[in-house]
Amino acid sequence: MATALHNLSDYDFESIPDASNMCFGIVVAEWNPEITGALLDGAVGTLEKHGAIPENIHVKTVPGSFELIYGAHQMTLNGSFDAIIVLGSVIRGETPHFDYICQGVTAGIAHLNATSEIPVIYGLLTTEDLQQAKDRSGGKLGNKGDECAIDAIKMAKF
């Protein structure tokens, strides 16, 4: 989690396992594409920086953040992935829709992690406004996509 004291893109490079023999699935929401595209770029770049080859990084898109659950579940059924990353962005609006989507996706991904043999990495930005999302998708607080890629490598090795 990004805070004023922690940048999402800061980590000890030497402590990350080699990902050259790992295969990753990434499910990314199309909603808020400026943000989710930056998250995807961060995740893919970080996986490759740690040895993952492009042919072993499989990206699928879904319309919105709620559909991340279905997309990740389908990838767990594939069985060929060492870890799956979900990437989305929900920005608070004027209705309770934000709360329902955030709670639903969080519960769905938690359920997948509890019942699947493959780790599913939670990369859903839940922000109050667009600027907070930008700050966490390559801005002043780093990129949540980077953090998710590191988590995926570590959990695949777990």
Q: Which residues are catalytic?
A: 97
Q: In 30-64, which positions are buried (b, 16+ CB within 10 angstroms) versus exposed (e)?
A: ebbeebbbbbbebbbebbeebebeeebbbeeebeb
Q: Where are the extended beta strands (E) located within the chain?
A: 24-29, 57-62, 83-91, 120-127, 137-139, 142-143
How far is residue 32's CA from residue 25's CA, in Å, rounded to a whole number? 20
Select from 10, 74, 22 the least CA-distant residue to 47: 22
